[in-house]
Structure formats: C-alpha cells, structure tokens
Amino acid sequence: AVEKLREEVSGLNKDGARLDRNAVYAAKLQALEMLYHARRSPARQAAFDEFCRISGQGLDDFALWSAIREDLAPDDPLWTDPACALGTPEAEVLREKLRDQIGFHRWLQWICDEQLEEAQRAALRSGMRLGVVHDLAVGVDHSSADAWTLRGVLAPATSVGAPPDMYNQQGQDWGQPPWHPARLAEAGYIPFRNMLATVLRHAGGIRVDHILGLFRLWWIPVGNAPGDGAYVRYDHEALIGILALEAQRAGAVVIGEDLGTFEPWVRDYLAARGILGTSILWFEYDGDSPLAPEKYRTQALASVNTHDLPPTAGYLAGDHVALRSGLGLLERSEAEERADHNASLEKMLALVRERGYLPGTTAGGQAETEEQTIEALHLLLTQTPSVLLGVALVDAVGERRVQNQPGTTEALYPNWQVPLGGPDGKPVFLDDLPGNQRFNTLLAAVEGALRS
C-alpha cells in the first residue's frame, strides 16, 4: 500500500513548473498513518514516551490543534471563538474525543525530531563545524497552531509587515499576528523562550528572520493598507537576552537578518552581544559605490543574495523587475526601475572586474558568461573578513526563478512552490548534486579561494 502511494505521486517530481505540495502531503500522511499503527518495539516505545514527556504541554496542544485542523477550515469560527479557546471545557472535550489522532500527531513530531537529530549528526560527521542552521520566522499565520495556542500573548487584530521600501514600494503585509509586548512580559517571556529552546534542540546555529522585529515591528490594523501601519516597540534587552542565553545553552551561533529599515545603533547592539549580522552583496554600499570586500563586517554572514531576492542568474537578467511590474508592485515605470537596476549592476560588475575576477571579454572576444559572472561575484565575497560565507543552492545550479516574492500571496505568486531547477528549467534533485558539474565548479572555486 505504501509503495502504491509512492507511485501515485512519483510523477510529480518531473514537473519543473510548480510543486504540488498538497498532493504529496496527502500521500505521505496516508503512509505515515500506516506506520504509526504498526507495533513498536519496547525500545522505540520508550523513546517515544520520553519525547512526549520532555516536550510536555506544548506538544499536546500542538497535536490537539493538528487533530482539530484535519476537519476544520482555517477560517472556521472555532479558532476565534473565546468559548473554544485552549483550556476551555469545549476544547477539553475535543481533546478527549480526538485522542487517537492527537497520538498520531505527537508521533509525527517525534519522527520529525529524530530526523532533525540525524541530519545534524550527519552534518557534523561530514566535517561541518556548525552543521544545520535553523530558521526562525518573524511570525506565524493567523490560522496556525501558534495563533490558536498562544492567543493570550499575541495581538490577533493586527498583522506585521514592512513600510514601503525597495523590496515592495507599496509596503508589505505578512498576515501574521505579532507578539503583544505587555502580555508577553506578563507571561515571563516563557512562550518565547520555549520556542527558541525547541528550534535550537538539534541546531548548530539559528538564523533569525527580521531580527529587527525584536526591537520594533511594523503593526498594521486588520483592514488597513501596509502603508497605514506604525512601529510598535519591544523590550529588546529582554528578547535579545533570552535569545543569547538559549543559544549559549545549545552551543549555537545566532545570525540576525538585519536588513531593511532599521535604526543605526541596532547593529552595534547586536554585535556587542555576539550576534552576527547579514551582509548581502547587492545592498552593501559605501556612498554611491559598492562596498569594497575588505570593508565588510567581520561579525556577519556574507552572501550574494537571499531567499527574498531572485537567484543571481535571474538578478543579472533583471527578471525581478519584470516580475514586480507584472504583479503591480512598482510605484514607477518598469523602464525607470530597469534603468536603475542596470546602473547599480554595472557598478558591481566594474568592481568585480577591477579585482580581476572577470576578464570583461575572453581572448576570443566573447562576452562573460552568466556562469562566469556568478562565480566571480562569489569569489569577490571570499575576500571579505566575514566569519561566514553563504552560497545559495539556486546559484550553484543556475536557477533563475524567484522562490519568494515579498508582499505577495499565493493568488499572485507561487511562493515556496517553485521546484529547484537548472538553466534549462528541468528539475534538479538533491541526490544528483554530486554529479552536477555547475554545482561542483562553483563550490570548488569558493573553497579554493578560501583556502588560498
């Protein structure tokens, strides 16, 4: 039966246009339910029981939400009805009624935890110093488990986002309820601390998305446009202190995504507490000129791009300008946007040529290739003093499509549903990377430069 389910969805791997996550998840869920009901050895059962004991009430409440969510839509009134809030008699009735499914969802979390543990162990065995670096999102969806179980410390009538900026000239609404600063403090920051401890359980590092949100967040009242929001401040000393403490306990590195609109002193504050920043090649400037690599921050993760930008191949071609224009995200003409992009791009390429990483033209008079340019940009970053250097998988295989377009929903763009592909648009599988010439060439070039 499990093999039959695999065959039903295996063909989806050949679709290079879009990932059908729902179909794959439905098939996996059926297979996992079969495995869940198989008899476990005493040792396996003891390990599962210990995981449930350690995880405590947080696991139980998440499993309850998961069991209820199987039958209810995200906009069902139950999720916002105070009479059905966590801890009410109505919720406890559901906890008893859905006992079997709750057990299944506890088991799923145990399997995930085991896989994360093995991934970290394998990474360290392979010679990686940090291993897996987990990501901490800036918030959660209004219909998520956290939004229901932590409703008492969130502000459900608002969502977080960003004011108008270069990412999105109309501002962004991420559809996520923010922490309520007063209620979170009244709770002794326990929900925040528990979340961090869970994320860091099997991690060598943690990347905190929009770490500036631990200082202030752009709140948007429900029903208003992103530009109508306002900044709400948080007790950053408490939040950053808890983050640093939990990371120290886990022996993990903290990387803060300190991009976007921020107050200048914030970066100094984070650096003083040993938290790394994020330096993106396209954004690092010294006045009107690209920042020289030797002037980059030491306490930072330096990379050519980020998941919120197009892969470098797409960026070089200006694909993102046409995409944002088509989605109605520009406040000026596409021609003006493209002219600015081309001008800044030429400044960066001039620096790369000046440092000797690009020839301009080859001996035969041929222009620099896309692959040569991507490699040269990464080699430029190997000359920075930054303690970490990131190479995006999309750049290593030649993908050019945007994985995530900030400020859009699924109705506008298939965020996180674009399968990894090569220059020809065909899917690239992780199992095939050892034999992927472009992948190996870029990584060998970067590794060689770092060693020299």
Q: Under a CB-based contact definition with an 8 Å cutoff, are residues 67 and 102 in contact?
A: yes
pLDDT over 80 (residue 12): yes
CA geometry: angle at 291 spanning 288 and 295, to 5°?
Answer: 140
Residue 237 has a pLDDT of 97
Residues 95-114 as b or e (16 or more Cβ within 10 Å = b): beebeebbebbbbbbbeebe
Q: Is the pLDDT of residue 90 over 70?
A: yes
pLDDT attached to residue 162: 86
For domain 133-451, is the CATH number 3.40.50.2300?
no
pLDDT of residue 362: 57
Ordered by start, the domain boundaries in the chain are 133-451
Identify the pLDDT of residue 364: 57
Three-state SS for 115-159 is HHHHHHHHHHHCCCCCCCEEEECCCCCCCCHHHHHCHHHECCCEE
Q: What is the rounded average pLDDT of the residues 58-70?
A: 96
pLDDT tens column, 92-113: 999 999 999 999 999 999 999 9
The share of the chain scoring above pLDDT 90, in percent, equals: 79
CA distances from 400 to 20, 239, 375 (A): 20, 37, 15
Instruction: Please tell me whether the overall predicted TM-score, pTM, comes out greater than 0.85 for this model.
Output: yes
Contact 397, 436 (CB under 8 A): yes
Whether 314 and 401 have beta carbons less than 8 Å apart is answered as yes
Please report the pLDDT score of residue 363 as a whole number.
Answer: 56
Q: Which of 434, 440, 429 is nearest to 16 (CA)?
A: 429
Q: What is the mean pLDDT of residues 159-167?
A: 79
State residue 163's pLDDT score: 86
pLDDT one-digit tens code per residue, 190-240: 999 999 999 999 999 999 999 999 999 999 998 899 889 999 999 999 999
Angular region, 210: left φ>0, alpha ψ -120 to 50, beta rest: left
Residue 366 vs residue 449, higher pLDDT: 449
pLDDT at residue 167 is higher than 70: no
Is the pLDDT score of 140 beyond 60? yes
- 45/26 Cα distance (integer angstroms): 26
- Residues in a beta bridge with 141: none
pLDDT-derived band of residue 261, with 50, 70 and 90 as boundaries? confident
In the sheet where 388-390 sits, what is the strand order? 277-280, 300-303, 388-390
Each residue's pLDDT tens digit, 383-422: 999 999 999 999 999 999 999 988 788 889 999 999 999 9
Rg of the Cα trace of the chain? 24
Q: What gap in Å lies between CA 147 and CA 176, rounded to an integer?
A: 9
pLDDT for res 89: 95
Q: pLDDT higher for 31 or 111?
A: 111
Mean pLDDT of the chain: 93
What six digits make up the tokens of 239? Answer: 């939040």
Assigned token pair, 133: 């670096």
State pLDDT tens for residues 346-395. Answer: 999 999 999 999 986 655 556 789 999 999 999 999 999 999 999 999 99
Both tokens assigned to 20: 């059908």
Ranking 243-252, 253-262, 371-380 by mean pLDDT, the lowest is 253-262
Kind of pairing between the strands at 172-173 and 205-208? unpaired
Given a cut of 90, whether residue 175 has pLDDT beyond it is no
Region 324-353: mean pLDDT is 94
CA distance 294 to 227: 37
Q: How many CA atoms lie within 13 A of 417 on its CB side?
A: 16
